[in-house]
Structure 1
Amino acid sequence: MKSILRKLTIDNAILLLVLCMLGWAGNTIAGRLSSNEISPMVIVFLRWSIVSSILIIFKYQKIITSLDLLKGKLIWLFFMGAFGYTGFNSLFYISAQYTSAINLGIIQGTMPAIVLIGSLIFFKEKTNLIQICGLFLTFIGVLILVSQGNLEILLLLALNYGDLIMFFSCFLYSGFTLGLRKKPNIDPFVLMFFFSITAFIASFPGILIENHLNLINWPNNKNEFLIIIYIAFVPSLIAQLFFIRGVELIGADKASLFINLVPVFSAFLGIIILNEKLQIFHLFSLIVILFGIYLFMVLGENYKKRKKI
């Protein structure tokens, strides 16, 4: 009975990865719900203070024993935490004040393409025409989204600031993803603690700026505290745990394909929870982006493997 239950739960990669993507998509909804109630830097500050506190409680011994392994990685740790966690999250929650959860999710779907471009530039990875076509389609999809399918908006540069901020934030997190290639061989949750504590420290200047500009808003009711708790526990801890387990079961390449579910789930959650309207340009943009990702992550990689044979 236990083995059957295990196969259906913690050994079920598809279930774990689907739930992970649902949790990450929920972050777009949390961002929208908090957009006019809690200021972006307060969310980032509270998120990573909670996460780092939880991790140090459960991973204290491993954190202490891992300190020697990270002595030569302090600059790397700072940039990873400050840009990948604080920078990305800050821009994400700022953009949530100006655009829809549907748009946030769809733009997030471009990250695999940006990571591939970074791999080509910084790690000299080989590519092929199929993958280049996939990249091209992915960014065409983003242009369709930010212009709302209207060429005039694009030509006049009358674009939504929230969409542009979100797109820029994707470059920060893609840089973080590429930086993980340099990670030391330690427990992933210990590494996450160091990223989290760095992100927590790096959020202080943002808090001071918000306070100086009188833009700071702390959570002050039950619903707002629940949003913070959700952000700290589900996208940051539970979903991450599910993703790590999913990678262990089926490998990083296959697991990364599930990231394409984030824009799909974000769209559905935005419609159901926030009553957002799904427009034709949303659907067209999503289809173009997902097809572009399919070209470079599936067909392009399969073509590479056939050439090696």
Structure 2
Amino acid sequence: MSLRGAYAFPIAAVLLWGGNAVVTKASAGVIGAAEIAFWRWLIAALVLLPFALPTLKAQWAEVRESVGRQAVLGLLGSALFPTLMYLAAAHTSAINMGVIQALMPIMALGLAMVLFRQTFSPVVWIGALVSLLGVAVVVTQGNPARLIAQGINPGDAFMLAATACFALYSTLVRKWRNALPQVTCLLLQATSASIVLAVPFALSHRTGVNAANLPIVLYAAVLASIAAPLLWMGGIVRIGPARAANFFNGLPVVAAALAVLFLGERVTLAMLPGALLVIGGVMLAERYAARAVA
């Protein structure tokens, strides 16, 4: 496959994840957070099962050894991350969600210091501060001083918590690498998430899956939960993690464009410099972090 063809994998993944920010925002008011999170991962597990079944039989010893770690990953990446995103959607815009989610690589670098005892150039932390300033500009509509006077919007706080969960998930995926196929790992994570989410699903008010929310549930279950992760992993294999990370930095732009196109959200003047600060800070940090790892 040509390099140009290999780039299609991370680009497609980012497009699907950007679309998921829009779909998540659209879910507010038509289906509950616990409800869509439960159906999302139950459907994903059922879709993945036939593809993972041969590995479950052939490598059962490895599967059994990995179940505990995959359950933790499922709790972080498949249960907490999307549920917090759905809660955020009721209080903030899809554009804000996309910008905040772009902080994930920065958070992952911080966790790498703790889990892998890595040290980074001061430039990495300058990049992190620039990105945080960019998020502050976006969420306060150009007036970061409002954070002191009014505090952070609940939706943006939920999204920050969701991004932290996904950063920890991504860091542990690296730390707990195993020889199992990605499809099998996704199945184990989706199954554990379904079990965990069954409790809030049973205790919460349920709208039920209907014609209005079925496309949203299916997008989240199939495209955002299965297709996007597999495309992303395929991109990493073909072009490497450093190059793939550069495509993830385009997530705020994709989410904003889709939110304007499909949800009618407005891009304010404050959002533009804020988004540029986030993307620029992340790219700066990743560049110097990659040198440190090398």
TM-score between both structures, scaled by the size of structure 2? 0.94
* 1:101-112 matches, cutoff 5 A: 101-112=94-105
Q: Which residue of 2 aligns with 1:201?
A: 195
Give 5+ residue unaligned stretches, structure 1. 1-5
| Worse overlay, 100-109 or 175-184 | 175-184
Q: Are the equivalent residues in 2 in contact too, given 1:56–1:63 (CA < 8 A)?
A: no
1:24 maps to 2:28: no
Determine the C-alpha separation between the residues in 1 that align with 2:62 and 2:210.
Answer: 41
> Per-residue deviation at 1:75?
2.9
Q: Which residue of 2 aligns with 1:81?
A: 74
Determine the C-alpha separation between the residues in 2 that align with 1:66 and 1:41.
Answer: 33
Alignment equivalent of 1:145, drawn from 109, 122, 138: 138
1:258 maps to 2:251: no
> Per-residue deviation at 1:136?
1.1
Alignment equivalent of 1:91, drawn from 69, 80, 84: 84
Q: Are the equivalent residues in 2 in contact too, given 1:42–1:216 (CA < 8 A)?
A: yes
Q: Which residue of 2 aligns with 1:119?
A: 112
> Per-residue deviation at 1:268?
0.3
1:235 maps to 2:229: no
Give the counterpart letter for 1:163 in structure 2.
D
Give the counterpart letter for 1:135 in structure 2.
A
1:169 maps to 2:158: no
Q: Are the equivalent residues in 2 in contact too, given 1:39–1:218 (CA < 8 A)?
A: no
> Per-residue deviation at 1:282?
1.2
Determine the C-alpha separation between the residues in 1 that align with 2:59 and 2:247.
Answer: 31
> Per-residue deviation at 1:237?
1.6
- Give the RMSD, CA atoms, in angstroms: 1.8
* Structure 1 outlier segments of 4+, above 4 Å: none
Q: Which residue of 1 aligns with 2:210?
A: 220
How many equivalent pairs are there? 293
Give the counterpart letter for 2:269 in structure 1.
I
Q: Which residue of 2 aligns with 1:3?
A: none
Give the counterpart letter for 1:216 in structure 2.
R
> Per-residue deviation at 1:134?
0.6
Structure with the greater alpha carbon radius of gyration: 1
Give the counterpart letter for 1:232 in structure 2.
A
1:192 maps to 2:183: no
Give the counterpart letter for 1:256 in structure 2.
A
Give 5+ residue unaligned stretches, structure 2. none
Determine the C-alpha separation between the residues in 2 that align with 1:53 and 1:107.
Answer: 31
What is the percent sequence identity of the aligned residues?
Answer: 24
Give the counterpart letter for 1:297 in structure 2.
E
Helix, strand or coil for the counterpart of 2:86?
helix
Determine the C-alpha separation between the residues in 1 that align with 2:242 and 2:229.
Answer: 16
Determine the C-alpha separation between the residues in 2 that align with 1:71 and 1:23.
Answer: 31
Q: Are the equivalent residues in 2 in contact too, given 1:70–1:184 (CA < 8 A)?
A: no
Q: Are the equivalent residues in 2 in contact too, given 1:37–1:219 (CA < 8 A)?
A: no
After superposition, give the CA deviation of every residue in 1:47-75 in whole Å (9 maximum; x if it has no partner). Answer: 11111111111221112223311333333
Give the counterpart letter for 1:84 in structure 2.
G
Determine the C-alpha separation between the residues in 2 that align with 1:295 and 1:252.
Answer: 15
> Per-residue deviation at 1:216?
2.5
TM-score between both structures, scaled by the size of structure 1? 0.90
